[in-house]
Structure 1
């Protein structure tokens, strides 16, 4: 059973008080060993509060907007929420204008026979994406690295059913619960080509020791309920369960918040600049692109704010 107290936007109510935000930021800045946490908490409390409020408004508008506008509203909603997250760990944000760019790029004009799954985003040296990656998750992205839409979609646990139907492949395995313990299915050893001991070591180290295995089998307990950062263990919000990816490459440690950012960035660019392709997709539903894009937009509407809230509560 998934341990989370998240109740949608109701959970954010605590932050819509400047007094609470000031104390919350002061506490965070103390942990960061800031020289003047009280002063910085006072200076930043309204910026933090308004980032969250503006983000919420974008998401609420996206919920009621037609599909052709959703990616744009959701992207800017997520950007505001991410800026709030950064402000909790960097009291001087934004120090320079270079951190305000998107931090990723995509081909503006799509080629003939364009395939969404093969489309790529490229990481830039400066901007919000590399900045959030470093500040929030202590990860450095390499300038010029690329990632495809298919690779990103495969990292969204809630899309597993669609991959099974359209691609005849499963992307995640659920972790079972029994007597308040979590159990990794044996079949995952086959996917990872690992022995039981090696799999235990892999999951423990890659999850930053937030899990503790018992001596018997692949049964473990959580030392921490949230896996929204760097860990191969992900959360499926729709099934309210923990899951593990079938691929154990470097991408399996990619924080899901960054995955949502990259997908929404590209979809928002398509919605703005590729109006003919985007209009045809939303009206004609010609191929697998439509169900994956529509499903992702429905998922990120709920999960983006969830991932941000879990980060803020850590």
Structure 2
């Protein structure tokens, strides 16, 4: 598969500055040329660091893969935010992940039964509002089951692993097929853009990988549940899909 061009072209300061200036002028930002110059290298560094994390994650063992992929995606998304909000980060509150999870996994834990909670501030709600004009409600929960069932590439595997399960009614309708990251037409609080689905799932897996060593080790080496093939397939899909979504954001003409 050809590497998405955004990973390369944003290594040019000339290209990056002109790209930002065009965006800022289109958004009506005053002093767009000066602002583009000021933000040019921040975008370059976010993209470059994202490349390092994500590319290493794509080749790494499953044991540490979620952490590398999540932080790679975070860096790319911060670059994306700077193309529409030149003041980012305006305060320290937007630097947190914007999601929280239960600290300890109980006995009999299954990944699909877990959930994350949306925080009032942080990158997740900030991305949703800045890139999609969708306000997320603080305290609202996102189910891993709902998010996994919203990824079309997982449908066949989910049907094989859970043949008698009925797709759950979703609190969020995940935008998946034929959507791009730059799709800004979401008007309902019940719509979750696809890149945020990947963000939430990778966030949760990275937290488990880092802080739930006992359960993570059991998952990797005991082969005792359906979680392992599902998580492994999701991570494989993520390595291909996340760069495509970012490519579409940076260069798609769809609004």
Instruction: Compute the TM-score of the two structures, normalised by the length of structure 1.
Output: 0.72
Aligned length: 240
Q: Which residue is equivalent to 1:283?
A: 221
Query: Is the aligned partner of 1:272 residue 2:217?
Result: no
Which residue of structure 1 lines up, in the alignment, with residue 22 of structure 2? Answer: 27
C-alpha change, 1:170 and 1:52, in structure 2 (3 Å) is: farther
Aligned counterparts of 1:284 and 1:82: Cα–Cα separation in 2: 35
Instruction: Answer yes or no: is the 8 Å Cα contact 2:99–2:118 preserved in 1.
Output: yes
Task: Write the mapping of 1:21-60 to structure 2, written as runs, cut at 5 A.
Answer: 21-60=16-55
Larger Rg: 1
1:286-297 matches, within 5 Å, as 286-297=224-235
Partner residue in 2 for 1:114: 109
Between the aligned partners of 1:226 and 1:292, the Cα distance in structure 2 is: 23
**Structure 1 residue 143 corresponds to structure 2 residue 138:** yes
CA RMSD of aligned residues (A): 2.1
Cα distance in 2, alignment partners of residues 230 and 170 from structure 1? 30
Give, in angstroms, the shift of residue 86 of structure 1.
0.2
Alpha-carbon distance between aligned partners in 2 of 1:170 and 1:23, rounded to the nearest angstrom: 49
User: Given that residues 70 and 203 in structure 2 are in contact (C-alpha distance below 8 angstroms), is that contact kept between their aligned partners in structure 1?
Assistant: yes
Deviation, 1:19, is 0.3
In the alignment, what sits opposite 1:309? 247
Partner of 1:261: 199
Shift of 1:111: 1.4
- Asked if 2 retains the 8 angstrom alpha-carbon contact of 1:102 and 1:128, the reply is yes
1:94 matched to 2:89? The reply is yes
Give me the whole-angstrom Cα distance separating, in 2, the residues matched to 1:139 and 1:51. 24
> Given that residues 161 and 170 in structure 1 are in contact (C-alpha distance below 8 angstroms), is that contact kept between their aligned partners in structure 2?
no
User: Which structure dedicates a bigger proportion of its chain to strand?
Assistant: 1
Name the residue aligned to 1:66.
61
- 1:137-159 CA distance string (max 9 Å, x none): 10000000001110010111110
- Please say which of residues 108-117 and 9-18 is displaced more in the overlay: 9-18
Give the conservation status (yes or no) of the 8 Å contact 1:230–1:255: no
In the alignment, structure 1 segments of 5+ residues that lack a partner are 1-5, 172-206, 208-224, 233-248
Q: 2:79 is matched with which residue: 74, 84, 88?
A: 84
* Structure 2 residue matching 1:89: 3-state secondary structure: coil
Q: How much has 1:12 moved relative to structure 2?
A: 2.9
C-alpha distance in 1 between matches for 2:51 and 2:4: 8
**Matches of 1:257 and 1:149, distance apart in 2:** 15
Q: Report the Cα offset of residue 68 of structure 1.
A: 0.8
CA distance in 1, matches of 2:166, 2:108: 27
Q: How far off is 1:227 after superposition?
A: 3.5
Contact 1:226 1:310 in 2 (8 A): no
Measured in 2, the distance between the counterparts of 1:285 and 1:44 equals: 47
Structure 1's 226 and 157: CA in aligned 2 closer, same or farther, altered over 3 A? closer
- Partners of 1:100 and 1:123 lie apart in 2 by 14
What is the match of residue 129 of structure 2? 134
CA distance in 2, matches of 1:58, 1:39: 30
Report if aligned partners of 2:7, 2:51 keep a CA contact under 8 Å in 1: no
